[in-house]
Structure 1
């Protein structure tokens, strides 16, 4: 089967494969880690296919790191791609009278993420004060480029999730009248004097507004933009925005180093927790629908996992620190 005919590898599996590559290339990789990796690889045909693409990429270029591995899994072209194609992936500048920007995206997202102005590793959080006085918080596994000058205030979200409290161009050389714009792969989010978060997801962007409002303009959308007021959230693709709904009361808890949940399923909880921890967290189907509530400290995911048997009929089995399984209690 040709590479073009292969089904797409999901972002989650691509990230898992890249994490395993990191483990196997580290000094900690031993016999047990390799057996755990083989178990992961053989557990699902998609896992095996993802690893085949990593091997093909590695053989072609002799060496590989986590970012390049994820690039390969996403079906990216090699670094020898033409200069013309690379040109398609750069910012095109201020667009028309709206003062907004348009981005071209594609194969080089992972490369650009590695070279981002600001980024965080898995489990890391970072707070930054920008040149205009805006406060920017990066959640786990996030990356942004910041382009502030005399004509524009642009934050390009390459990966992950950010929280912004917009400033007013107070910094030297920053255009005080230019709109603060967050660009994602799907479109543009313009701040209207506000506090809001933006998350880059697979094929869509998520926006939540906590104060004031934002204007959302899908990249390929036709017609009026969407005005999203405080207390509302939505997702949008390159073509359209979904109907707004209420913001979760704890949607910004991560910016305080907390994970707060209220009556969510264990499966949902562990999926979210996996964003903050390298490796794999597996939830057995028998316990995935159990429900829990609580306040959990994101700085210590090991502690969170160890707390689960105190409130749910589960056991947590750790083959290595990179492979954890939550199963029914014996």
Structure 2
């Protein structure tokens, strides 16, 4: 392996980790697309995907051989134990050790959060007779019900909540953090959708009131209003009408750039959906099944002059059809 190959492989590993941390910003995805244009980088990326597929097979291998995992659970892996593992399982042992390294906070939240929805799934949570939550794809929350207050922390992703007004209900305090900035949302009754996309947070209020505290400022949302918070502070409020489309399993596009559409669809599918440079500025309209992303991709190919290229189960590229 040349030094250039090693650099490309290291970059590919970085991108794999970066793109697994949902949600991914449109700017990050465009930088990835630009990096992928180089043949050397593309070859390195395919190798990383092959390695990841091997790791998945090794995890299945571990389930079939529990003695391997039992040995690996020891606090300190002795040289004798390592040699024993190598003798039994061959070179796959070392690959397995690499596979055990935690690389995704999504996987971490799936284990540690009070409630979590995996990629491509939703979850409904009844916290009390007054409070019900719906978690969108790849989302996680912690909850704490204590006396007169219900505290929620949105760790990642998107939730919709319905807090009914009533004499016996607890006040709600919802917090979330992006780019080391904390948001607090207080309410005594509301229907609210909160989406933390990593570089900001979008709040959509459909009913009731919610007091937002952010960057040493406060704002009261009421009625049907939506606002986006970023590192620059509060954005402008705008009216919002219907409930979020994902609650009905829909991804609705209206004059949406193909790169933005694929980035949104990628939230519901494991792996990477990339867009070739020649197709990035295409615009799309339509209603697509969010929780059936492969079906949505097939519909996309029937709506636009594009073709869908599959490079293994984890990587899909959308490019301009040759006869377009």
TM-score, normalised to structure 1, is 0.66
- Relative distance call for 1:317 and 1:156 in structure 2 (3 A) is same
User: Which residues in structure 2 correspond to 1:126-165 (within 5 Å)?
Assistant: 126-165=123-162
**Is the 1:265–1:288 contact (alpha carbons within 8 Å) kept by the matching residues of 2?**
yes
2:57 maps to what in 1? 27
1:80 maps to what in 2? none
CA distance in 1, matches of 2:126, 2:21: 29
1:69 maps to what in 2? 103
- Relative distance call for 1:28 and 1:291 in structure 2 (3 A) is farther
User: Is 2:235 the counterpart of 1:229?
Assistant: no
> Greater strand percent: which structure?
2
Secondary structure in 2 matching 1:269: helix
Secondary structure in 2 matching 1:122: coil
- How many Å apart are 1:250 and its aligned residue? 6.0
Secondary structure in 1 matching 2:203: strand
User: Is 2:268 the counterpart of 1:276?
Assistant: yes
**Is the 1:162–1:198 contact (alpha carbons within 8 Å) kept by the matching residues of 2?**
yes
Q: How many residues align?
A: 246
TM-score, normalised to structure 2, is 0.67
- How many Å apart are 1:230 and its aligned residue? 2.8
CA distance in 2, matches of 1:209, 1:279: 32
- How many Å apart are 1:63 and its aligned residue? 5.3
- Relative distance call for 1:286 and 1:233 in structure 2 (3 A) is same
**Is the 2:121–2:137 contact (alpha carbons within 8 Å) kept by the matching residues of 1?**
yes
Q: Deviations over 1:241-273 (max 9, x none)?
A: 2222333x5660101111112221111110100
Secondary structure in 1 matching 2:302: helix
1:308 maps to what in 2? 300
User: Which residues in structure 2 correspond to 1:125-204 (within 5 Å)?
Assistant: 125-168=122-165, 176=168, 178-185=170-177, 186-204=182-200
**Is the 1:187–1:237 contact (alpha carbons within 8 Å) kept by the matching residues of 2?**
no
CA distance in 1, matches of 2:190, 2:164: 9
**Is the 1:132–1:168 contact (alpha carbons within 8 Å) kept by the matching residues of 2?**
no
CA distance in 2, matches of 1:158, 1:14: 16
> Greater helix percent: which structure?
2
Secondary structure in 2 matching 1:278: coil
Q: Which of 302, 318, 325 does residue 310 from structure 2 map onto?
A: 318
- How many Å apart are 1:203 and its aligned residue? 3.7
CA distance in 2, matches of 1:260, 1:284: 22
CA distance in 1, matches of 2:260, 2:243: 14
CA distance in 2, matches of 1:217, 1:65: 39
